Amino acid sequence: MDFSPIDQYQNVLFCWLGVDQKQKIVLRIFIHRRSFQGMKMKRLLGAIAVGFIGGVLPLASSAYADSPNYADSPNPKISWVQPKETLLRVTLSSKFTDTGERILNVDLVRGGEVLERLQAVSGKPRKQAFRVGRESKAGSREPLPQGIYAIGQVDRRAGLPFAMGKTFIPVTPQFATSRSGIGIHRDADRMIPGGSGTIGCLGLLNQTGIETVADFVATHNVKTLIVDYGL
């Protein structure tokens, strides 16, 4: 089948943009209406570009930002989470403990400012592989995966396992992963041979650290934990 120069350009344009059928119809009407008026190809292409950038792209970007499933992607990018939200944020430091765990920065963030930075570990010393949600497997004993978590209520009830200390804050992944039972607590048994690290939770290095996090969460009703390894 033969195509006119206009049709040939449309096919290339649609493949490049990845637009759906409705967008194709809108763009075809625009293209042919303008071409019927004798517009030169150079001006036509410029008009298409301006029209698309001014109309279609903002709609697409708006839908992406507002999507409730944005953290469900295989490799969730979380740098665009609202920075002024009161939250906990975990990032990698360049340091390691004497038992081999990577030290994690735990930032208490409010109004876009870091109020305090604490230190924690996650995973066992020989299991320090940092992954995104779908690549992180249950039972791996690796650090909690990168992503966005919902923070639950602070639990200071008696009966927690010795390794968890006296305070536990459950967190729920808001993305696809086989990991479960994740929370924030003190790495309470790290002074026992073989006890350092966690099996996937975020373990603060001392009691002051976990109590500081717990008080921040309870006082400000913090509901979001961001774990950002830069993946």
Specify the DSSP element, H or E, that contains 50.
Answer: helix 41-66
pLDDT over 80 (residue 113): yes
Where do the structural domains in the chain lie, given as residue ranges?
A: 5-66, 87-228
pLDDT for the residue numbered 83: 61
Rounded Cα gap, residues 116 and 13, in angstroms: 50
Mean pLDDT for 44-53 is 44
pLDDT over 70 (residue 125): yes
pLDDT for the residue numbered 117: 97
Mean pLDDT for 151-167 is 88
Summarize pLDDT for 173-205 with one digit per residue, the tens: 999 999 999 999 999 888 888 889 999 999 999
Radius of gyration of the chain (CA): 25
Summarize pLDDT for 81-98 with one digit per residue, the tens: 666 689 999 999 999 999
CATH, domain 87-228, list 2.40.440.10, 2.40.10.340, 3.20.20.60, 1.20.120.530: 2.40.440.10
Instruction: Specify the pTM.
Output: 0.66
The closest alpha carbon to 136, from 147, 144, 128, belongs to 144
pLDDT for the residue numbered 24: 47
Q: Please, what is the average pLDDT of the chain? A: 75
